[in-house]
Amino acid sequence: MGFFIGGNMAILVNEAERIITLQTKTATYQMKADEWGTLWHTYYGTKTAEDDLSYACFMRTRGHTANPYETGMQHREYSLETIPQEVSAFGGGDFRTTALRVRFANGTETLRLKYESFEVRKGKYGLPGLPAAYDETGDAETLIIRLSDPEYPIAVELYYGVFAEADVITRAMRVVNQGDEPFYLEKAASLGLDFAHGDFDLITFPGRWAKERVPERLQLRHGMNSVGSLRGLSSAQENPSAILLDRAATETSGEAYGFAFVYSGDFLLEAERDTYNGIRLLVGIHPDHFEWKLEKNGSFTTPEAMMTYSDTGISGISLRFHRFINEHIIRGKWKTARRPVLINNWEGTYFRFTGEKLIEMARAAKKAGVELFVLDDGWFGKRDDDRSGLGDWTPNEAKLGCTLAELGDRIRETGLEFGLWFEPETISEDSDLYRAHPDWAVKVPGKAPDLSRYELLLDVSRTEVQDHLIAELSARIREGKLAYLKWDLNRSMTDRYTASLPADRQGEMTHRFMLGTYRIMEALRTEFPELLIEGCSSGGARFDAGMLCYTPQIWTSDDTDAIERLFIQYGTSMIYPVKTMGAHVSAVPNHQTGRSTSMKTRSTVAMSGTFGYELDPTKLEEEEIAEMRAEIDTFKALYDLLQNGDYYRLVPPTSDSCTVWEQAAKDGSRALVNVVYHAVRPCPLSEHFRVQGLKDEWNYRISLVDPADSEKLDNRQKALFDGSIASGLALRTVGLYAPVQSLFRGKSGVTDYPAFQILIEKTDR
């Protein structure tokens, strides 16, 4: 047998048997091309030998299946409908949902792909114009599989990025027209994964504005199970990620597969269970309102999708994706640099502010230890409410009382850095830009457009619009000497049409819009490498791995209520790491729910995010400013643990009394356990949990981060959380009970939701 072995043995190829095996740290992924050129997917799961695993893909004759002509009548058991395939194409006897569909010049959509060759490259492939994972270590490898149709001039390349140590495989596909006549690409999924059998549940993350990414676990029923977005953005309603897991799998045990799309536009994630219990999962651009015309020698490359396997349940998926996003998605300075503690003026003032008011807020924030002041909506054009001004990124000097440069200088004189809010992809009808370029707005000729928040979208698919925005944003960044930019988008896409494309190419508009947004962001990232960009879309409506390639943090939700955030950050954490989640301490009563919680509780929740403030500090008492300062000091002291530690969900927010989560140092030397009571009970339960991520053989000291919290506990609890010692083995197996206190009332007389932070540190005792 002939073998080809990749540089670090992540990719192994048996050329004689046409078997390709991908090996990561704990998983094996395998495919095989058979005698008729069909590329089988034979295995993905717990790491095993690179033997021929196709024997496990059982075939038998089944009624009403189609058999490829070349197999002959002696092989009635051979059908593309029942074979687990590496890439599936429409019209060739596979009646399941398929990854690839094209329409050729003669009108046919039938496609039969056959394996041709492979190529292994050192390093990770790139995707021009698209966000993608990268590798700076040189340890990753690329596999390219080439397929074609014997009768039609189409070539297909499957791209695999193998990150062996990270336990992640990335996928993308390239389609090429090798003929003289154009054809139309109607569907092109980035990732397809077939299982010959399985009894799975599917976790997806539905939601809505102010209630994003609520995990929903359902048994995979027969037929189609799908989630997606047709809003022109990845959306708050669904997230382009999912976890497929064995029905018996739990948070910490059992087999699970995680998927995340590195894309921020329309998407479709499909999981089909056929009547023989085979499973097919696809991830890609949503095919509705997608059609791409490929001229002679033209090509189309799909966005990237990521996948990982875990035999330690949901937690294993989260740990792998968290590490991978932190190390291979987030780029530039802010991959490792400490993020500044910021204050945003939005909930403090909304549109009602002056330059003097902003300076007062900055001075007060500086006293508390804040490092960055962010001026939100309302600083530009004719913008005193949300009905006008978008697109006119000229500072309103009458409102500010000075130029933008002068305001930035005055903010910096207080000791804070300066940042601004933008909504680049939108335009108001009442704006100078719209009056000058009405054709730049997304709308159908001859039809009144839909409005959302009184906004229209700018046609960012057009190069001249992209160039205008790059110039405008760059000018403001230089003028204000900005350290931070908040990039918002507050509406979904309707009236899809662009004047820049002919009628037979309007199906390209939505994807070109997304490519245009990425181009603008990449231009800013390249010209201003020190600039911290935070993504936002009415909160978390564009929270995805694609945006994280340009914006290392994203505003998780417009809902700033600490108790609501427990649920939102819980669901988000299943795929995305803590340091990507924009989280602020807001004023009370909370502006979304009217609930009052203590500064301690709000800070504990926000620390498991990027940490900042969303309030007017000039309205706080000196005692509250001092409390802010203490919480900021705590955040800075524990920054590496909070932002870079391994994240564990110990007690979910669906429990009766409290939510418990943990961040553990990767070397097992210490851990922080956070406890927040989300329900008010006259006799609250104390939740039991087991501490994760420590070393069994080491001893650890257990103490409260804030010693004053011990005064809320009874004597037995005080003894436990005041320096007691336990082994890592005991903490993992026997565990702890969450601190619990009697019902108490805060200064305002409103019942509080207490919070505790427990520090567990290695000790030689």
38: part of which helix (H) or strand (E)?
A: none
315: part of which helix (H) or strand (E)?
A: helix 313-328
Selection from 78, 75, 114 nearest residue 93 by Cα = 78
Sign of the Cα pseudo-torsion (518, 524, 530, 534, in order): negative
What secondary structure, in 3-state letters, does 482-505 show?
CCEEEECCCCCCCCCCCCCCCHHH
Instruction: Note if the bond before 128 is cis, omega within 30 degrees.
Output: no
Selection from 440, 462, 437 nearest residue 517 by Cα = 462
Structure tokens at 95: 């009646």
Active-site position among 479, 624, 706, 722: 624
Burial of 138 (0-12, 13-18, 19+ CB in 10 A): exposed
Instruction: Please state, in angstroms and rounded to a whole number, the distance separating the CA atoms of residues 251 and 647.
Output: 12
Structure tokens at 669: 């030397």
The CA-CA-CA angle for residues 468, 474, 476, to 5°, reads 105
- Max intra-chain CA distance, the chain: 86
Q: How far is CA 301 from CA 19, 37, 120, 289, 443, in A?
A: 25, 23, 19, 17, 27
Selection from 93, 112, 111 nearest residue 183 by Cα = 111
Phi, psi (5° rounding) for residue 143? -115, 130
Whether the CB-CB separation of 543 and 535 falls below 8 Å is answered with yes
**Beta strand 532-535 with 484-487: parallel, antiparallel or unpaired?**
parallel
Residue 109: CB atoms within 10 Å: 16
Instruction: Please state, in angstroms and rounded to a whole number, the distance separating the CA atoms of residues 10 and 24.
Output: 6
Selection from 51, 48, 20 nearest residue 34 by Cα = 20
Structure tokens at 711: 């005064």
**Side chain identity, residue 11:** I
**Side chain identity, residue 127:** L
The rounded radius of gyration (Å) of the Cα atoms in the chain is 27
Sign of the Cα pseudo-torsion (377, 381, 384, 389, in order): negative
* Residues 6 or more apart whose Cβ sits within 8 Å of residue 526: none
Whether the CB-CB separation of 459 and 513 falls below 8 Å is answered with yes
Q: Does 624 participate in catalysis according to the annotation?
A: yes
**Side chain identity, residue 338:** R
Structure tokens at 712: 């809320």
> 3-state DSSP: the chain helix, strand, coil percent, rounded to 5?
25, 30, 45
Phi, psi (5° rounding) for residue 416? -105, 150
Sign of the Cα pseudo-torsion (547, 551, 556, 557, in order): negative
Active-site position among 417, 425, 459, 544: 544
**Side chain identity, residue 567:** F
**Side chain identity, residue 155:** A
Q: Does 417 participate in catalysis according to the annotation?
A: no
Structure tokens at 131: 């966000």
Burial of 333 (0-12, 13-18, 19+ CB in 10 A): exposed
Beta-strand (E) ranges in 665-716? 670-677, 688-689, 699-704
Instruction: Please state, in angstroms and rounded to a whole number, the distance separating the CA atoms of residues 515 and 526.
Output: 16
Q: Which positions are annotated as active-site residues?
A: 544, 624
